[in-house]
A = this chain, B = another copy of it.
Amino acid sequence: MNRIPTHNDIETTHNKIKEFIHRTPILTSSSINNIFSSSLFFKCENFQKAGAFKMRGATNAILSLKNSKLKNGVATHSSGNHAGALALAAQKLGVPSYIAMPNTAPKIKIRAVQSYGGNITFCNPTLQDREKTLNKIVQETSAAFIHPYDDYRIITGQATCAKEIYEELDNLDYLITPVGGGGLLSGSILSTHYFSNSTKVIGAEPKGADDAYRSIRDNKIYPSVNPQTIADGLLTSLSDKTFNIIKKGIDRIITVSEDSIKAAMYLIWERMKILIEPSSATVLAVVLENPELFLNKRVALILSGGNVSPILKGE
């Protein structure tokens, strides 16, 4: 697939992947709405299979492979949710998966890949070592490399999440998604363009990993160098494909502090009784830091994933 996904591509993809993914619920919280005097709609991709929206794109990418290619399996490098999603999608289709995973990845994400039968090769948490390790795997196995986001099949899959939101909710003023490599954000921008006519799309990014913010501001892709954030899913930089879609369709990227990310995460845990990972909390952190922007507005927020292992105090 070598062009920006069309309205029809997203429709077709949604139908193709439907039986492999959950249609996740959109939840509201009257107590959180009261705090901000806004109508917030949380799209719960933490309840998605493998615990994150990544299942959408990974499934679409695998289903797009020809059988002759598919039989050798799939490979990727990922610190977490794309790895788990690809391993699960491969398991469902009965083919092997090979993952180059940084040795700093959260244990819950490593356990998930293992439980889905993925073959993990650990590497150092640098892009260089990730790519080197992956290349070795691909040479040895002839598996198909599925990039976590610089791939229109992936972007089309992630776009189905916002499409589901627009199928259920009208007159949304804003849609906020986290931004790491930009797969979810670029897919959300495309679905907004095709399925909503007035919603503004905002990217939520940690201040400590603000390469996407600077890239859009300066109209050139900055690499993510030594990102410092609790949001372990947002450490990567934009790619050519995601950057080009985002720069055309984004309203703005808003950066948020680590304190706001934690406060937003704990607020969702406490009031909604659902577990979301830190990367997901960036979207509510944007509202927390900019309440005036969202006053009396209808806002959809994508809770991107729930792969986090909290503990009781004192444990």
Residues of A within 8 A of B (CB): 31, 46-47, 51, 108, 115, 230, 262, 266, 269-270, 273-276, 278, 306, 308-313, 315
Docked-complex contact B269 and A310, CB < 8 angstroms: yes
Chain B residues within an 8 Å CB radius of A278? 312
Docked-complex contact A313 and B309, CB < 8 angstroms: yes
Determine the distance from Cα of A311 to Cα of B308 in the docked complex, in whole angstroms.
10
Chain B residues within an 8 Å CB radius of A270? 108, 309
A29 to B: closest C-beta gap in Å: 10
Known: A262-B312, A274-B275, A278-B312. 6 other contacts (CB 8 A): A51-B273, A108-B270, A230-B312, A270-B309, A308-B312, A310-B312
A74 to B: closest C-beta gap in Å: 22
Query: So how many copies of this chain end up in the complex?
Result: 2
Docked-complex contact B311 and A273, CB < 8 angstroms: no
Show 28 A/B contacts (Cβ-Cβ < 8 Å), sorted by A.
Answer: A31-B115, A46-B273, A47-B273, A51-B273, A108-B270, A262-B312, A262-B315, A266-B309, A269-B275, A269-B309, A269-B310, A270-B309, A273-B274, A273-B275, A273-B276, A273-B306, A274-B274, A275-B275, A278-B312, A308-B312, A309-B313, A310-B310, A310-B311, A310-B312, A310-B313, A311-B311, A311-B312, A311-B313
Residue on B nearest A48 in the bound complex, by CB: B273
Determine the distance from Cα of A89 to Cα of B306 in the docked complex, in whole angstroms.
32
Determine the distance from Cα of A163 to Cα of B11 in the docked complex, in whole angstroms.
41
A305 to B: closest C-beta gap in Å: 9
Chain B residues within an 8 Å CB radius of A262? 312, 315
A265 to B: closest C-beta gap in Å: 8
Residue on B nearest A45 in the bound complex, by CB: B273
A115 to B: closest C-beta gap in Å: 8
Q: Which 4 A-B pairs have the closest CB atoms?
A: A310-B310, A273-B306, A273-B275, A46-B273
A196 to B: closest C-beta gap in Å: 27
Residue from A47, A108, A270, A313 whose CB has the most chain B CB atoms within 10 Å: A270
